Amino acid sequence: METTLQIVAKTPRPAHLIRVAVPRLNKQDHIADYLKQIETRDYDISWAQIDETVILSVKDWNDLMNSLMTDRDWLAGKGGCSSWAFADEEDIEFFKLTDDQQKEWKRTAFLHVIAVQCAGQTIYIDPQGYKYARYLAFAADDKPEGKTREELRREREKAEQAAKVLALQEQIANPPTVPADHGLKFLWNGIKVNGQLYRCYYSLGNLHHYPADTISGYARDYHSFPKEVRACFHVENNTEYQSDYFDNDRLRICSNHPLYSLAKQAYEACEQHHARRMEKRGLSRRTA
């Protein structure tokens, strides 16, 4: 078609169109995957024209809700999208329109949907010509605009961080049970287990979400702590083999841990050792 057709600015919206919320992640098989998006406002608001109303039995409704991707003959060839600004034009090819015409088409676009009802409940399906519920929509008369993807991303990150902090608080409040014969010996330069020294260094405090008096023990040389140590502590390690990032094991030892006093003594011995080394280095420099 020719791209010289005229556009009437701000073409009035037809009164029969309804306002719907369209979840952004479509082609889902279970209704719960759509309802979750509605709950979190992960949707776009659109206008829709109801081309047909289908009333289902409770059995057929439940079957639809649990298998939305299944082909159904009553959906075949229906749905799609139109623009009320171009309602009088036939066979419009969107990509042959001018930039201004494309903007107007998008501004005045609406979906063709089937209203599917059962026992007072309604969903709107746009099969886009297919035989399954390719897109779902929900009545949006009382719904606000959907949140932006950036807003949702920040909310997810905030929720994930809050969950991590909560899990950490639980972990701090409930340290592992330590057997009486644990066999661990804390030294200034590591932890000795069954006569073998696993080298590590210690630090005190300066950790987010941990008490200020928390002792940290960091394994050295990328050697992992043995099972005897892991049985008594929560061992952290953020190694990611896919990205070739290798991390050392580390322990966070809070004051309510049964072995805290031993770890604190090892930390103090480590500090004294390094202080003596620095003192000797200072003396040798002055002598020179």
Q: Is the confidence at residue 24, as pLDDT, over 80?
A: yes
Residues 189, 123 share a domain = no
Domain boundary among 126, 147, 168: 147
- Among 202, 208, 226, smallest CA distance to 172 is for 208
Q: Measuring CA to CA, how many Å separate 177 from each of 62, 182, 225, 259?
A: 49, 10, 18, 10
Domain boundary among 91, 125, 147: 147
How far apart, in whole angstroms, are the C-alpha atoms of residue 29 and residue 67?
Answer: 5
Number of domains in the chain: 2
Q: Is 161 a domain residue?
A: no
Residues 108, 215 share a domain = no
Q: Is 250 a domain residue?
A: yes
How far apart, in whole angstroms, are the C-alpha atoms of residue 68 and residue 125?
Answer: 10
Residues 37, 116 share a domain = yes
pTM, full prediction: 0.67
Task: Of 221-230, 236-245, 258-267, give the lowest mean pLDDT range.
Answer: 236-245
Tokens of 80: 């799609």
- Among 140, 119, 108, 104, smallest CA distance to 14 is for 108
Q: Is 2 a domain residue?
A: no
Cβ-contact 232, 259 below 8 angstroms: yes
Residues 199, 118 share a domain = no
Residues 29, 126 share a domain = yes
Q: What is the pLDDT of residues 33-82, one digit of tens each?
A: 999 999 999 999 999 999 999 999 999 999 999 999 999 999 999 999 99
- Domain around 267: 184-287
Residues 34, 142 share a domain = yes
